[in-house]
Amino acid sequence: MIYKTKLIIEQHFHGCFGIDFNTASVDDILDLSKEILKYGIGGIFPTIVTDTVENTKQAITNIKKASEKQTADMAKILGIHLEGIFLNPEKKGIHNSELFLKPTIENYKLIEDDFIKIQTLAPELDENLELCKYLTNRGIKVHAGHCIGGDLTECTGVTHLFNAMSGVAHREKSTALSALINDNIYTEIIADGVHVCDDALTLTFKTKPADKIILISDCLPITKSSLKETVFAGEKVYYDGIKATSKEGTIAGSTTLLPDIIKRLAKVKLFNPEYINNPYRYHNIDLNGHLEWDDDWNLINVLC
């Protein structure tokens, strides 16, 4: 039997093929977007990690220029996911906390651009949630991530559920707990088998409405490359064939593209084809083309 689905949309994606969206040239980005379509990924939100204001602005400029030069044989660049700068040092992950800025409207305006469509931040550091409200009024998706707060009042989603956030607790609110019980919150989750165990995935898929699950890869530039080490977010990252970590053992992001994550989920009987449709609804977009999969959810054809 052949299953047909829409093209995959990747909304949290730092790069692959050795290309890093924080440092990529316009031509690099165009090459990546052309190659990634062959894997069934038809839309991408290039994701930028914490960097200096100057470097962040340059990365945004390059991504925007690349989006203007795309052709029909490329995965469409749908906007930028800015994961960095306004995070909580207590949950910094691989990010360089020395470059963090307080989440204020004034600081956001240092890097503001209409091509930013998703902003990850720590809402507990946003006084009176003023930046969250500012972003929402401009149509930007506000994601709680790299944070410890449980108040998701002004958030539309959470960034990589369970990772780099306060976890499920029974005596107090937490980011993960609030995300799980709020049916209106979209939840990104990295289902590569490294970042979140299958029991936690099962809990999430049983708790959240199926239409609020956003599968992401959070994949690194090292993905689908010959690299065994690279510099990411200003830190040396090492790939052991399964995961990529800093010297201290901090997981830096995944090394698996979404089609392979889908195949893995299907193998452990946790995949729901509805998950492919969710980013389309979340961002109110559509893409031409579809994918064909076999019974084991191996991708067999990309039709655009």
Contact 252, 231 (CB under 8 A): no
Quick one: pLDDT at residue 41? 98
What does the block give as tokens for 82?
Answer: 């800015």
Three-class SS state of 127: helix
The parent domain of residue 298 ranges over: 3-303
Q: Please tell me the total count of domains within the chain.
A: 1
Quick one: pLDDT at residue 245? 95
Quick one: pLDDT at residue 169? 83
Q: What CATH number does residue 196 fall under?
A: 3.20.20.140
* CA–CA separation, 194 and 220 (whole Å): 14
Quick one: pLDDT at residue 13? 96
User: What CA–CA distances, in Å, run from 246 to 55, 191, 238, 272?
Assistant: 22, 20, 6, 33
Helices in 76-129 by DSSP H: which ranges?
105-108
Contact 72, 304 (CB under 8 A): yes
- State the angle between helix axes of 26-37 and 53-68 in degrees (0 to 180), rounded to the nearest 10: 60
* CA–CA separation, 34 and 287 (whole Å): 15
Q: Taking the chain (304 residues) in consecutive chunks of 10 residues, what is each chunk's mean pLDDT? A: 96 98 98 98 98 98 98 98 97 97 98 98 97 98 96 97 93 94 97 97 98 98 95 94 92 96 98 98 96 97 93
Predicted model pTM:
0.97
